[in-house]
Amino acid sequence: MSSNSRYSNPGPSSPRVAKAFWATLKRDLKIAIRHRGELANPLIFFLLVITMVPLGVSPSPKTLALLAPGMLWVVALLATLLSLDALFRSDFDDGTLEQLLLSPQSSYINVMAKVFVHWLTTGVPLTLVAPLLGVMMSLPEAGYIPLLLSLLLGTGSLSLIGAIGAALTVSLRKGGLLLSLIVMPLYVPVLIFGASGVRAAIEGFAYNTQLAVLGSFLALAIIAAPLAIAGALKMSVNN
């Protein structure tokens, strides 16, 4: 089978494709549940940093409300980054990753399943916890719905973009810093539109444009990122 066919999207109607996706999904979910400590690290980081902000900056509700949209988004982004290094690490160490790439099933589908699990176990919990931490940051009431929606869309893009960096650095023993340098510039547009959407809602303006841009980023990432991830994984495994 050629490399082009391996990385192609075979279409959602194929039963074999669906079976491969669910098999990878269930396997990675079981592994994630088995390592509950690692699963909780991004949430603990999110909670600790937001808790420290009133202590280190100011306990004034007015000051915290001004900082809340950007601070919540920045810390959620960093918490997502914290969990990326382990995305492919265990599969690379035990040889599963090489078998996954040699599988007759499309690498696109297998990669999408793995990134989807990362989003379920990192992006979704961060999104659900963010409004609770927004209370600590005195986030105005108008900002809660936009915060939830923007994080729901944005964390999906963060997982997909971050997985490209994780795939490029998976063969490096201390690739955490390099991973950050690779993905942080790509995270900036998501951060800008995510935080500005919440800010616009708080100031009484429409935030549909920001959500539409975040949705466009996510759609583009779903199409292109798995192909880049599969190619990066193949390079890392062959090195």
* Angle, alpha carbons 47-52-54 (nearest 5°): 115
Please tell me the distance from the alpha carbon of residue 166 to that of residue 128, in angstroms, as a whole number: 25
DSSP state of 86: G
Task: Read off the pLDDT of residues 185-209 as tens digits, 9 standing for 90 and up.
Answer: 999 999 999 999 999 999 999 999 9
Does the pLDDT value for residue 51 go beyond 80?
A: yes
Does the pLDDT value for residue 105 go beyond 80?
A: no
Residues contacting residue 64 through CB under 8 Å, at least 6 positions apart: 53, 54, 57, 58, 137, 138
- Mean pLDDT (the chain, rounded): 87
Does the pLDDT value for residue 4 go beyond 50?
A: no
- One DSSP character per residue, 94-163 reads TTHHHHHHHSSS-HHHHHHHHHHHHIIIIIHHHHHHHHHHHHHTT--GGGHHHHHHHHHHHHHHHHHHHH
User: Which pLDDT belongs to residue 170?
Assistant: 87
Does the pLDDT value for residue 140 go beyond 90?
A: yes
User: Which pLDDT belongs to residue 14?
Assistant: 62
* pLDDT bracket for residue 134 (50, 70, 90): very high
Rounded alpha-carbon distances, angstroms, from residue 17 to 5, 24, 29, 108, 121? 13, 11, 18, 10, 23
Please tell me the distance from the alpha carbon of residue 63 to that of residue 57, in angstroms, as a whole number: 9
For residue 211, the surrounding DSSP H or E stretch is: helix 208-238
Domain boundaries, the chain: 3-238
